[in-house]
């Protein structure tokens, strides 16, 4: 796995079609590449935003914009985005509200502007801003540059003329770049210069597209806010920056085993606070057809359901996949070749654990469903590890199936009584035949048998636990 990959970056284009497309173009052009594969992985979402009141209106309230942006970012998050750009100044007035509800990183446009202004020598005393009435009244820019810098705006009549030039029926948003659009903006720039502004910061995301056509007053410097935003985004998503590792869990096979795995993943993680734990994405799908019924009978093939669940997790940004079901690993080879991320084998995790924790062990017993036993999954894995294997005879295999699937079994919600007696008898049967370690090869069995040396006469190996440990280790690498 390439842990030095760049972050997957989303761009919310529907906040302003021209500004969104411009930002996408700038990021592609500004990315230093030696080949096509060096470009950032980008997801561009362009869906028109329709609001009952335009941002150019004094009575504008961004409620609809808030919900639109949240929905768009939520979709990006589900698609595996790690970070997102929002080329819209109105949106940055409520950025903190979004950050509180989303996991993906929101790259700050205002942060990029602040950094760009901080590099100016000498530092300006006054900065001129052209923005919507909402952004001006919200005070978005007043808090960006420090107490020693004054922010000034055009006069009210000039601001209104600029809004019409950008948002009007024949304005810049319609594609008009002629003099009737440029003249009101140039007049507003002259007003800013007359007030003493030596730096112009566009507070409308469309204005950077017009900078090369505008007449900046003598002595005034313009900050290309789109360029600095693109540059800032590339720094935030540069190769080598490690994004948070995410484990995708194919759940529901069975439900109790999924909860058991998640518990072991949490317990196996060294953490001083919540944020130290591993990100986990679970698709709990108990409707995946029974694996054993398909392998030993005429049950429905679960391949498509397993693959569909894996793809959802992959699209959700998982770095690795785990399936806390031993029998399901009979289908892994056919699924893996169609995935872009690895399924971590519970079989390999178990055999590696035996070799590392008990190097003197030569004979390993296997407890599992009929499907797991007949598929030869663990037999092959143990042979490849240079270990011998023992499976229960027919009588004791029936006990194993009963303790799992029976009316008093673990899949029916029982963890004590008959089911525990049945699995203990099967375990002892394998020990009597020479097993030095026994793999609890159904993810429900560790719920009934405590892993470790214990008093059962052999090492009880919990594949669910060693799989969780493997995930913790991969998250550290």
Residues with catalytic function: 325, 442
Cβ-count burial of 341 within 10 angstroms (0-12 exposed, 13-18 middle, 19+ buried)? Answer: middle
Query: What is d(CA 259, CA 266) in angstroms, rounded to the nearest whole number?
Result: 11
Separation between Cα atoms, residue 87 and residue 82, nearest integer Å: 17
232-257 as b/e, with b when 16 or more CB fall inside 10 Å? bbbebbeeeeebebbbbbbbbbbeeb
DSSP three-state, residue 247: strand
Give me the half-sphere count of Cα atoms (radius 13 Å) on the Cβ side of residue 49: 26
Closest CA to 9 of 176, 230, 226: 230
What whole-number distance in Å separates Cα of residue 423 and Cα of residue 225? 67
d(CA 12, CA 19): 10
Q: Is 275 helix (H, G, I), strand (E, B) or coil?
A: helix
Paired tokens of 408: 């008093």
CB distance 195 to 158 below 8 Å: no
Distance from C-alpha of 411 to C-alpha of 413, rounded to nearest angstrom:
5
Q: Which two tokens stand for residue 343?
A: 């399924």
Helix, coil or strand: residue 272: coil
Cα–Cα distance for residue pair 30/227, rounded to 1 Å: 9
Task: Check if the beta carbon of residue 60 is closer than 8 Å to that of residue 133.
Answer: yes
Query: Which structure tokens are listed for 15?
Result: 């906040």
Q: Round to whole Å and give the CA distance between 253 and 306.
A: 10
Q: How far apart are CA 253 and CA 142, in angstroms?
A: 55
Q: CA 464, CA 471: separation in Å to the nearest integer?
A: 11
């Amino acid at each position: 796995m390439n842990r030095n990959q760049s972050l997957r970056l989303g761009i919310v284009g529907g906040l302003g079609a021209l500004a969104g497309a411009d930002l996408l173009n700038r990021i592609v052009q500004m990315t230093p590449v030696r080949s096509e594969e060096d470009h950032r992985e980008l997801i561009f979402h362009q869906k028109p935003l329709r609001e009952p009141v335009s941002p150019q209106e004094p009575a504008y309230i961004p409620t609809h914009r808030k919900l639109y942006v949240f929905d768009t970012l939520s979709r990006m998050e589900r698609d595996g985005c790690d970070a997102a750009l929002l080329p819209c100044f109105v949106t940055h007035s409520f950025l903190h509200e979004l950050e509180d509800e989303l996991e993906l990183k929101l790259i700050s446009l205002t942060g990029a502007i602040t950094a760009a202004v901080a590099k100016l020598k000498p530092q300006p005393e006054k900065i001129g801003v052209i923005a919507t009435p909402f952004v001006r009244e919200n005070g978005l820019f007043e808090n960006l540059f420090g107490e020693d810098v004054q922010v000034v705006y055009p006069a009210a009549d000039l601001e209104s003329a600029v809004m019409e030039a950008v948002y009007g029926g024949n304005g810049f948003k319609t594609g008009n770049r002629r003099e009737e659009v440029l003249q009101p903006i140039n007049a507003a720039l002259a007003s800013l210069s007359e007030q003493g502004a030596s730096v112009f910061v566009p507070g409308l995301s469309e204005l950077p597209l017009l900078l090369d056509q505008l007449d900046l007053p003598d002595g005034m410097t313009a900050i290309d806010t789109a360029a600095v935003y693109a540059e800032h985004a590339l720094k935030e998503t540069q190769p080598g920056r490690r994004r948070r590792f995410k484990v995708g869990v194919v759940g529901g096979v069975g439900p109790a085993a999924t909860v058991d795995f998640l518990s072991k993943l949490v317990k196996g993680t060294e953490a001083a606070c919540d944020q130290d734990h591993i990100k986990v994405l679970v698709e709990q799908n108990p409707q995946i057809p029974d694996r054993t019924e398909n392998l030993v009978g005429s049950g429905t093939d679960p391949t498509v359901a397993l693959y569909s669940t894996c793809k959802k997790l992959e699209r959700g940004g998982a770095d690795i996949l785990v399936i806390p079901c031993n029998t399901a690993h009979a289908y892994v080879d056919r699924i893996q070749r169609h995935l872009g991320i690895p399924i971590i084998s519970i079989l390999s995790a178990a055999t590696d654990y035996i070799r590392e924790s008990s190097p003197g062990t030569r004979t390993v017993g296997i407890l599992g469903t009929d499907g797991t036993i007949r598929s030869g999954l663990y037999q092959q894995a143990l042979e490849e590890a240079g270990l011998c294997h023992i499976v229960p005879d027919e009588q004791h295999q029936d006990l194993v199936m009963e303790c799992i699937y029976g009316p008093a079994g673990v899949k029916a919600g029982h963890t004590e009584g008959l089911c525990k007696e049945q699995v203990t008898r099967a375990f002892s049967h394998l020990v009597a035949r020479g097993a030095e370690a026994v793999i609890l090869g159904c993810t429900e069995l560790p719920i009934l048998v405590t892993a470790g040396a214990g008093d059962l006469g052999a090492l009880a190996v919990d594949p669910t636990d060693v799989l969780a440990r493997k995930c913790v280790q991969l998250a550290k690498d």
